[in-house]
Structure 1
Amino acid sequence: MSQFELTRTLPEDATGAALRADVLHGLTRTPKILPPKWFYDARGSELFEEITRLDEYYPTRAEREILIARAPMIAAATRASTLVELGSGSSDKTRHLLDALPGLHSYVPVDVSGSALTGAAEALLGERPDLRIHALIADFTAGLVLPDTPGPRLVVFLGGTVGNLLPDERSAFLTSVRALLAPGDALLLGTDLVKDEAVLVRAYDDEAGVTAEFNKNVLSVINRELGADFDPADFGHVALWNAEQEWIEMRLRARRALTAKIPELDLVVHFAAGEEVRTEVSAKFRQDGVRSELAAAGMELTHWWTDEANRFALSLATAV
């Protein structure tokens, strides 16, 4: 029999409260910042899907190449009965792992969007009627309690999304993942790799301007949810490589001096001409660095796979 269960661990207004807190904190500090998670309303998700199909944006293709080639090895190394996916979204790439795990009992997708979880589950159950799906509406960066499903468990975090976390946030996140792992469980982590600056910048500043629209979508989200009056046309899209930190930064740069009102926060935000808001950090990694960060969180890197062009990596780690 097919089985689908949806559990909410986030309060109903958790998303709205988090948005208000992030915008108030981020736009009243210097320099201004906004977290990248607020790109992803329905329109933002559509734009990101479009980005993944762009010639310039290689990470999605590279990661899928690894999954297709290495899924049988991942399955053999983990023998997972439960697959837990953090930030599951449409669960599209996960299908390669689901196909490779013959003894899989349960799939636990975790996302903040209930509609995304339900839509993905319906599609998966149409293909795999015996799969048990226990979906969690949860923020995986704020502590997570997993349902009682059989082990071994394979926790996966794909897409290079771990690079959107700052180093301290990444350390806390990996430590929280380690706390989820029992003996015999494993973590599969996707990381984009350090490479030529021009290749990296093009991936975040495509000729068609899709990433620019995606970047500016955060302003549309704030307008809709908080009654703000930002005009996205007042801001330019900036993508640059920070060589010292080895990460890409996306920013919005004010084209002129301007003022924006955010009634829901009783806030007026002033921008000087040329002033920037950092909207995303996307760290790029080296194998030794990934190994060290996993070790600091109490995990051991046991397998490392890259695509043929060595652009992206999947690493498998176990608890120590």
Structure 2
Amino acid sequence: MTIPSLEIHLSEDMLTEALRHDARVGLTASPKWLPPKWFYDARGSELFEQITELPEYYPTRTERALLSAVAGEIAEAAAPEVLVELGSGSSEKTVLLLDAFVAHGELELYVPQDVSPSALETAAEQINERFPGVSVHGVVSDFTHTLHHLPRPKGKDGKRMIAFLGGTIGNLVPEERAEFLSSVRDVLDPGEFLLLGAGLVIDPAVLVPAYDDAAGVTAEFNRNVLRVLNSRLNADFDADAFRHVAVWDAQQEWIEMRLEASRNMRVEVRDLDLTVDFAAGEQMRTEISAKFRLSGLEGELAHAGFSVARHWTDPDDRFALVLAAAK
């Protein structure tokens, strides 16, 4: 059994500086916004895990069931020696891929990437115990900036597959998606693969409740971004004075999560020496979750330099896995 290794390209100071930048830009914009990556402190991660178990929240269980059904086909089509997972978190769903890849006999190295060293250490240890023949090399980084740090296979003919699951691609606006997909293509050699998990456009009557559950867990998750600013930037948001809002934008084909001020408020972000005013009813965007049509997603991949080798959808056509080869 090999000992998992951890490569760090994102320090706590760097993370704080990124938060400072995003908070200053987003809170002084009109309309205001904050990036969804700042939901995820320890409490935010705990809340999201609760969300994935809610009856309304279909994406996680749908993707897991789809992966379980087609992992063998993915292994047969891609046969990578190195599996890189961006935003790996607990690597729970990845076990389904690893089972299939190990059974296929090609996989040598698993590279989970995440911003959380503790999440990576825990996941790496669990993967190492379950798959003793696979080396595990964690990378602590922001996947939007440090893809060039991804390890290469030892053999000259070895292939990598980058997995980007969970529908996270939908958190990027179109310009960000284009930049991200192009950057992934830039680090892959021709014939190497990207496996992309993406939510599909479905009936808003099913879609909206997934982001506005009856128990209010998503509302607490949304408000947690304000508590992150309070704890990390010495702000004084009254998080409970903001209402969770989730709306379907039919033109953009994405869900927007917003926080709406219940009254006029003046917020001090002391570490930024910044005063922010909110009017009663003013909304601040905290997340988009774009949903896709397969033709559009394949077009975006083609524009970035990929050709789609295979795609799979669940029986209800709510979620897709797309295997794309670098051209």
**Structure 1 residue 113 and structure 2 residue 120: aligned?**
no
Determine the C-alpha separation between the residues in 1 that align with 2:262 and 2:143: 36
Q: Deviations over 1:270-318 (max 9, x none)?
A: 0000001100000000010011000000001111101111100000000
Determine the C-alpha separation between the residues in 1 that align with 2:314 and 2:208: 20
The structural deviation recorded for 1:11 is 4.0
Corresponding residue number in structure 2 for 1:263? 270
Determine the C-alpha separation between the residues in 2 that align with 1:262 and 1:201: 32
Q: Of the candidates 119, 137, 140, which is equivalent to residue 140 of structure 2?
A: 137
Q: Of the candidates 198, 201, 205, which is equivalent to residue 212 of structure 2?
A: 205
What fraction of aligned residue pairs are identical, expressed as a percent? Answer: 58
Task: Classify the secondary structure of the residue corresponding to 1:288.
Answer: helix
Determine the C-alpha separation between the residues in 2 that align with 1:10 and 1:62: 32
Aligned residues of 2:153 and 2:159 also touching (Cα < 8 A)? no
Letter in 1 for 2:151: P
Determine the C-alpha separation between the residues in 1 that align with 2:53 and 2:66: 17
User: RMSD over aligned Cα, in angstroms?
Assistant: 0.9
Larger deviation: 20-29 or 145-154? 145-154
Aligned residues of 1:84 and 1:108 also touching (Cα < 8 A)? yes
Corresponding residue number in structure 2 for 1:164? 171
- Runs of 4+ residues over 4 Å off in structure 1: none
**Structure 1 residue 4 and structure 2 residue 4: aligned?**
yes
Q: Of the candidates 308, 312, 320, which is equivalent to residue 319 of structure 2?
A: 312
Corresponding residue number in structure 2 for 1:148? 152
Letter in 1 for 2:108: H
**Structure 2 matches for 1:211-230, cutoff 5 A?**
211-230=218-237
The structural deviation recorded for 1:12 is 4.1
Aligned residues of 2:195 and 2:324 also touching (Cα < 8 A)? yes
The structural deviation recorded for 1:184 is 2.6
Stretches of structure 2 that go unaligned for 5 or more consecutive residues are none
Determine the C-alpha separation between the residues in 2 that align with 1:32 and 1:313: 32
Corresponding residue number in structure 2 for 1:82? 82
Aligned residues of 2:152 and 2:160 also touching (Cα < 8 A)? no
Letter in 1 for 2:159: P
Determine the C-alpha separation between the residues in 2 that align with 1:95 and 1:166: 29
Q: Of the candidates 245, 251, 263, which is equivalent to residue 252 of structure 2?
A: 245
Determine the C-alpha separation between the residues in 2 that align with 1:146 and 1:122: 20
Larger deviation: 59-68 or 135-144? 135-144
Letter in 2 for 1:34: L
- Scaled by the length of structure 2, what TM-score is found? 0.96
Determine the C-alpha separation between the residues in 2 that align with 1:98 and 1:124: 9
**Structure 1 residue 295 and structure 2 residue 302: aligned?**
yes
The structural deviation recorded for 1:10 is 2.1
Aligned residues of 1:86 and 1:110 also touching (Cα < 8 A)? yes
The structural deviation recorded for 1:2 is 1.4
Letter in 2 for 1:284: K
Determine the C-alpha separation between the residues in 2 that align with 1:156 and 1:296: 19
Task: Classify the secondary structure of the residue corresponding to 1:206.
Answer: coil
Determine the C-alpha separation between the residues in 1 that align with 2:221 and 2:205: 20
The structural deviation recorded for 1:3 is 2.9
Determine the C-alpha separation between the residues in 1 that align with 2:83 and 2:29: 40
Corresponding residue number in structure 2 for 1:180? 187
Aligned residues of 2:233 and 2:271 also touching (Cα < 8 A)? yes
Aligned residues of 1:3 and 1:131 also touching (Cα < 8 A)? no
Determine the C-alpha separation between the residues in 2 that align with 1:108 and 1:153: 10
**Structure 1 residue 34 and structure 2 residue 34: aligned?**
yes
Larger deviation: 301-310 or 144-153? 144-153
Larger deviation: 134-143 or 309-318? 134-143
- Scaled by the length of structure 1, what TM-score is found? 0.98
**Structure 1 residue 54 and structure 2 residue 40: aligned?**
no
Larger deviation: 139-148 or 83-92? 139-148
Letter in 1 for 2:98: L
Q: Of the candidates 278, 284, 287, which is equivalent to residue 285 of structure 2?
A: 278
Stretches of structure 1 that go unaligned for 5 or more consecutive residues are none
**Structure 1 residue 232 and structure 2 residue 236: aligned?**
no
Determine the C-alpha separation between the residues in 1 that align with 2:131 and 2:162: 20
The structural deviation recorded for 1:124 is 1.1
